[in-house]
Structure 1
């Protein structure tokens, strides 16, 4: 990548920097489940959490992500025939604010943040309180970054509106643009979520899909004549360093 033009890397949080499946350990302990059932509940919760955001978008409504996260957990628990009292739900939701970062997150962002032509933005469906709490206990707080959240615009990914608003935010924030206009093609979403990647691509941004399972791109949502596939595919966040940092 050219080192003389500003490139902005907009990192998704849940499923990209933080491992949403790590909550299964707390689910197992607090609900007294075996690991297999805890893993199943964790996956169902994540599915409903995302489905709720998509359904709210489609209906033209917005509700903060912490409320969406709570209700989707209760939905998943009910579908799993688990009786969860409010106190236990509170404790599980509190633990959701302390998800484990993926092993490659800190080292990759530390390396990328040292490059003058690269700017880092945290870009998430989460509320400010959720993101602050989630990152507070990690080394990610030592890395300089901007922040742009769905809560600001009151709409969720993958609405193309939020990606276009991200570009507008970057161009209105001097420390993210170095005083020059940053075109949408210089803004790169980094996400482990295919729906996020297709939303960014539909909005005219570049996108890097983090394919940690090496499963390959199988998403087929793009209509005929449209290319919403990832601009780049990596297996680790550390692979992004090789894309954006030129070594002598």
Structure 2
């Protein structure tokens, strides 16, 4: 469906890869791993895969724990032997990820235009608290909404319905912005408009329709809503 800016009263944003850059996690590996890039990519992909599988086998644990298991697998798969203390230091980078350059000013534009802004994320509350603090966006958000509240991960419709209930907004008046394609699709199937944050200029997945809107930055969202 095409994007309808007149229907939007509340905007929600994913966190990782949308507001903060998970690729920065590679830097935490660089001092300890000879070739950090493939380890970092496997760590991230396994973390996402674990959340998707857990939705179907009733194996919920917090996203931080999922990340720990994924990091363990990525290190083992590349024959990297690190003590537990160093593994925890690498894992803790998720509390201090770099915020994308457009986030603060883009969100400020949306706030000034009268939109309520929320984060809806797989991250557990402690991760989201540290992300918001490190990104310095607390004053721009109404609140954060975690998958931990419903103990299920994206793209399950329950987390988006939870977001609608928590914000007190009819779900059809919400637009959700995310960098991950399945998050956009999950939001749309739950009844929201889906905004794909295509930060890496990659093609859309040829599966189950198009996003309501595709943008490169949060400023693009503000421009679309102003049009």
**Higher Cα radius of gyration:** 1
Distance 1:136 1:89 in 2: 23
Instruction: Could you tell me which runs of 5 or more consecutive residues in structure 2 were left unpaired when the two chains were aligned.
Output: none
Equivalent in the alignment of 1:187: 174
Q: Would you say 1:170 and 2:167 are equivalent positions?
A: yes
Q: Deviations over 1:125-162 (max 9, x none)?
A: 01111111122122212323222110111110011121
1:190-229 alignment, distance < 5 Å? 190-220=177-207, 222=208, 227=209, 229=210
Which runs of structure 2 are paired with 1:64-213 in the superposition (5 Å)? Answer: 64-116=62-114, 118-171=115-168, 182-213=169-200
Alpha-carbon shift at residue 32 of structure 1 (Å): 4.2
Partner Cα distance (1:48, 1:144) in 2? 30
TM-score, scaled relative to structure 2: 0.93
Does structure 2 retain, via aligned residues, the 8 Å contact 1:21–1:39? no
Kindly state the Cα deviation for residue 6 of structure 1 after the two structures are TM-superposed: 5.9
CA contact (8 A) 1:113 1:143 kept: yes
Which residue number corresponds to residue 18 of structure 2? Answer: 16
> In the aligned structure 2, how far is the partner of 1:49 from the partner of 1:32?
19
Taking the aligned partners of 2:123 and 2:165, their CA distance within structure 1 comes to 19
Corresponding pairs, count: 223
Aligned to 1:239: 220
The match for 1:175 is: none
**How far apart, in 1, do the equivalents of 2:177 and 2:56 lie?**
24
- Residues 20 and 99 in structure 2, CA contact (< 8 A), matched pair in contact too: yes
For residue 50 of structure 1, report the CA deviation from its aligned partner. Answer: 0.3
**What is the TM-score normalised by the length of structure 1?**
0.85
Matched with 1:174 is: none
Instruction: State the secondary structure of the residue aligned to 1:157.
Output: coil
Measured at CA, do residues 218 and 32 of structure 1 come closer, stay the same or move farther in structure 2, by a change above 3 Å? closer
The Cα offsets for residues 86-106 of structure 1, whole Å up to 9 and x where unpaired, read as: 010111112221011111111
Instruction: After superposing the two structures, state which structure 1 stretch, 7-16 or 162-171, moved more.
Output: 162-171
CA RMSD of aligned residues (A): 1.5
Deviation per CA, 1:61-85: give whole Å up to 9, x if none.
3101111111111111111111121
